Structure 1
Amino acid sequence: MLLAIDAGNTNVVFALFDLKADGDRKIKARWRIATDARRTGDEYAVWLMQLLEIRGVKREEITQIIVATVVPRALHNIEILARNYFFLEPLIAGQGAANYAIDIDVEQPSSLGADRAVNAIAAHDKYPGDLIVVDFGTATTFDVIDFNGAYKGGIIAPGVNLSLDALVGNTAMLPRIAMRAPESKSVIGRNTEDQMLIGVFWGYVSLMEGLIARMREQIGRPAKVIATGGLAVLFDEATDIFDAVDPDLTLDGLALLAGRANAP
């Protein structure tokens, strides 16, 4: 089995893949924990070993570990987890045998986040043609991958919850609310909470639709839009801009990288 670890700014996601002899990869289980760069390898192990036991998985069944992280300080402790508790040397996305092996056609290729590179690899593998990948994370990213699989650039926007937190944190009287779709399609709110939801939710829909329209115009060819990340499903109900919603895109990209690292 493969343990794929995606360490983001908000959560660390652990996914267990059952790998088939024919190369097929299927997620057997997934778990998430809040990102904390101070969390030790021992703390990860106590948490993860209990979850594996609940699933009836023995640590010896995990034969490969791959990690992608945009939080450099978290990497060391995840490596300790892999070495001390699974007795494996983890693959690091973008390094060594897990090199991306794609053309990163931007001014500073080394600055591209691991999650975005892995998304590009998975998207090109799963969907033909030119692509725009929208990833709803702490930040929302819009990435362009051309029909050859080259990463061409993108956009970084404040994440939905980050925008909501900034609105509440920098005003004296606005209440803290959970992100959700407004109950009414009206964009004229009749109370404070509705007005906040309208501003963030429909404002974000307009932001996505406007940016994607401009990106498609600049690409100059038809481009499919693939959405991933926790809030993708929420926004999919409010717009027809997405051609596919793929919640496991990053994890699938990690599994693909791990498989290539094993290839003769």
Structure 2
Amino acid sequence: MILVIDVGNTNITFGVYSGEKLVTSFRMISQISHTSDEYGLNLISLLNLNNIKKEDIEGVMIASVVPQVMHALVNSILKYLGKKPYIVGPGIKTGIKVKIDNPREAGPDLIVDAVAGFELYGGPVLVIDFGTATTYIIVNEKGEFFTGVVSPGIRISAKALWEDTAKLPEVEIKKPESILAKETISSMQAGLIYGQIGQTKYIVNEMKKASGYTDMKVVATGGLGRIIADETEEIDVYDPTLTLRGLQILYEKNRKSKPQLREFEDGDRPE
């Protein structure tokens, strides 16, 4: 079995794969203040709760958009699992070509989504990831990731509403019964959800038109993606484990090479 780790701005998502089968998944909050021991002990505990022994883990693949957690997280893997993880970045074999103006600017999460979208659904494919930010990327029929759009995610928009206004409360992010809201909470929910639906429809249609790939498949993932996918004809598939599967695919592509950890090979820095 292999362990894959998706480090996002809000959560760290872990998945355990046996071949192409996702055996289990679990999450931690992305806390920059965690030490390697805290990560390690929590990880071992969560594996045990899912009846997985640390000895069962043959390898580890990590993608991270939060550099500040990486030193402690990588050292927890080295210390508690005894494995040197692969990290999505320069030197990793992906099977796709990054054709944007500055390839090094492409985030690891976008690379993983591009790989998973192309490998699982073919090209051209448009992958939407409804995370802390909402990202839209296209991979063409040649396996070239050549364009992307980044917009504020639903949670960012919601947080801005209740933190930057004096009287608006924190609300649950869900679709209200009607867009014709009659009180504050449902008014905010309507704005957040229907606003994201409208944005998604417009961006997808404009990317299709501008790229010429008017019939390409549109695949959505991310925690709040199901709400939007259920309300838009533009989204063909909602795949909640797309990013984890992309990490599994990348592990298989790189398993015969030696992981290069660079600055993460030393022991923990003082914390």
TM-score bracket for this pair, using the shorter chain length:
over 0.9
1:234 CA displacement:
1.1
Whether 1:153 and 2:147 are equivalent positions in the alignment is: yes
Aligned residues: 256
Q: How far apart in 2 are the matches of 1:83 and 1:253? A: 22
The equivalent residue for 2:99 is 105
Q: How far apart in 2 are the matches of 1:129 and 1:79? A: 33
Unaligned segments of structure 2, at least 5 residues: 258-271
1:254 CA displacement:
0.6
Whether 1:242 and 2:205 are equivalent positions in the alignment is: no
1:85 CA displacement:
1.0
Whether 1:94 and 2:86 are equivalent positions in the alignment is: no
Unaligned segments of structure 1, at least 5 residues: 20-24
Corresponding letter in the other structure for 1:220? G
1:94 CA displacement:
2.4
Give the RMSD, CA atoms, in angstroms.
1.3
From 42, 50, 53, the counterpart of 1:47: 42
8 Å CA contact 2:40–2:79 kept in 1: the answer is: no
Corresponding letter in the other structure for 2:190? I
Matches within 5 A, 1:174-193: 174-184=168-178, 187-193=179-185
1:148 CA displacement:
1.3
Q: How far apart in 2 are the matches of 1:81 and 1:262? A: 20
Q: How far apart in 2 are the matches of 1:86 and 1:211? A: 43
Secondary structure, aligned partner of 1:16: strand
Secondary structure, aligned partner of 2:135: strand
8 Å CA contact 1:132–1:225 kept in 2: the answer is: yes
Q: How far apart in 1 are the matches of 2:62 and 2:128? A: 21
Scaled by the length of structure 2, what TM-score is found? 0.91
The equivalent residue for 2:260 is none
8 Å CA contact 1:7–1:35 kept in 2: the answer is: yes
The equivalent residue for 2:4 is 4
Scaled by the length of structure 1, what TM-score is found? 0.93
Matches within 5 A, 1:1-264: 1-19=1-19, 25-96=20-91, 98-184=92-178, 187-221=179-213, 222-263=215-256
Q: How far apart in 2 are the matches of 1:12 and 1:42? A: 16
Q: How far apart in 1 are the matches of 2:203 and 2:253? A: 34
Secondary structure, aligned partner of 1:31: strand
1:78 CA displacement:
1.5
Corresponding letter in the other structure for 1:161? R
User: Identity over the aligned pairs, expressed in percent?
Assistant: 33
1:262 CA displacement:
2.2
Secondary structure, aligned partner of 2:171: coil
Corresponding letter in the other structure for 1:194? S
The equivalent residue for 1:22 is none
1:206 CA displacement:
0.6
Q: How far apart in 1 are the matches of 2:123 and 2:104? A: 25
